[in-house]
Amino acid sequence: LSFPEILMPVKIMADLGARLIIFTCAVGGICEDLYAGEIVVIKDHLNLTGYAPLRGIGERWGKERFIDMTNAYSPELINCAWKEAHGQGFDLRQCVYAGVAGPCYETPAEISMINRLGGDVVGMSLVSEVMMTRYLGIDVLAFCCVTNVHKSGHKVSHNEVVKTADESIDSLGKLIKGCAGRYIRTETYAE
């Protein structure tokens, strides 16, 4: 798929009046204390994809082209997610997501670079979608499942990634359902 095709669902959701999009994805863990199967919430990102989805858009959709990304991931929603996770009996770590182009898994030198840049987890999606979502004025919450941990000499297996993601799907689903419920209650009381 091309980037415009990947981003089209975000535009459709905006046209339908979405006020929140919850993103999910699989990531590789870079921090030493992350473990396979852990669910994390994203607090910020590094765009290492070489792509900026707003380039060339101008004010095509009636929006300011240069948008502030200081709070791309809503601090209020991250706090809500932390409370929901705590209520479900687990800690929810906040991580910095490093977005890369893929489709190859990262080399040891790339992992070292991402670590030095401040990345906690690495993946091949999310960044462009979040930039487009914020451009359209929609709040963002993003959860990632750590499907593999980058350790010296440990090879990454796609089968391992898929298996770990499958094993975490129920926990992630309960967390999303709980967060969505909290968001809806908050929005209802705000009106």
Per-residue pLDDT tens for 137-176? 999 999 999 998 987 667 787 888 888 888 888 999 999 9
Q: Specify the long-range contacts of residues 67-75, CB closer than 8 Å, at least 24 apart.
A: 67/131, 67/134, 67/135, 69/131, 69/134, 72/44, 72/45, 72/130, 72/131, 72/134, 72/140, 73/41, 73/42, 73/43, 73/44, 73/45, 73/130, 73/140, 73/141, 73/142, 74/139, 74/140, 74/141, 75/43
Q: What is the pTM of this model?
A: 0.89
